[in-house]
Structure 1
Amino acid sequence: MWWCAGDRRNRSTISGPVPAPLVRGDGQSRSSKESPVSKHPHPPARTGRRIAVAGAAALTSALVLAAPAAAHAEVEADTPQALAENVTLSFVSEAESDSAGFRELRVVLPDGIAPDDVSLAGAPKGWRLKATADGYTVGGPALKPGVNAEHKIKVDRLPDAKQIAFKTVETYSDGEVSRWIELPRGGDEPEQPAPVLKLKAAAPDAKPASPSPTSSPAPDETSSATADSAAEQDATSAAEKTTGESDGVSSGVLIGAIVAVLLVLAGGAWWLIRRRASASQG
Structure 2
Amino acid sequence: MPKPTTFTKSSSVSTNLRRAALTGAAALAAVLALAGPAAAHAEAEADKAQALAENVTLTFVSEAESASAGFREVRVVLPKGIAPADVSLGKAPKGWSLKTTADGYVVGGPALKTGVDAEYEVKVRQLPDADEVAFKTVETYSDGEISRWIELPKDGEEGEQPAPLLKLKAAAPGATPIAPSPSASPTPSPTPSAEATSTATTAAGAGEKSAAKKDDDGSSTGLLVGGAIAAVLVLGGGAWWLTKRRASATGG
The amino acid that maps onto 2:24 is G
Q: Note if 1:129 corresponds to 2:104.
A: no
The amino acid that maps onto 1:122 is K
CA distance in 2, matches of 1:39, 1:139: 69
Percent pairwise identity: 69
Map residues 13-32 of structure 1 onto 2, 5 A cutoff: none
- What is the number of residues matched between the two proteins? 181
The amino acid that maps onto 2:9 is K
Structure 2 unmatched runs, 5+? 183-252
How far 1:129 moved relative to its partner? 0.2
Partner of 2:176 in structure 1? 207
Structure 1 length normalisation: TM-score?
Answer: 0.59
Partner of 1:153 in structure 2? 122
CA distance in 2, matches of 1:102, 1:211: 32
CA distance in 1, matches of 2:164, 2:114: 22
Map residues 1-282 of structure 1 onto 2, 5 A cutoff: 38-42=8-12, 44=14, 46-210=15-179
The amino acid that maps onto 1:81 is Q
How far 1:98 moved relative to its partner? 1.6
CA distance in 2, matches of 1:128, 1:34: 77
CA distance in 2, matches of 1:212, 1:173: 34
SS in structure 1 opposite 2:68?
A: coil
CA distance in 2, matches of 1:87, 1:147: 26
How far 1:70 moved relative to its partner? 2.0
The amino acid that maps onto 1:157 is Q
CA distance in 2, matches of 1:212, 1:72: 32
How far 1:212 moved relative to its partner? 8.0
Answer whether contact 2:149 2:164 (CA < 8 A) is retained.
yes
SS in structure 2 opposite 1:99?
A: coil
Provide the alpha-carbon RMSD of the alignment. 2.6
Structure 1 unmatched runs, 5+? 1-31, 214-282
Partner of 2:193 in structure 1? none
CA distance in 1, matches of 2:181, 2:57: 23
Seen in structure 2, the aligned counterparts of structure 1 residues 198 and 34 have a Cα distance that, compared at 3 Å, is closer
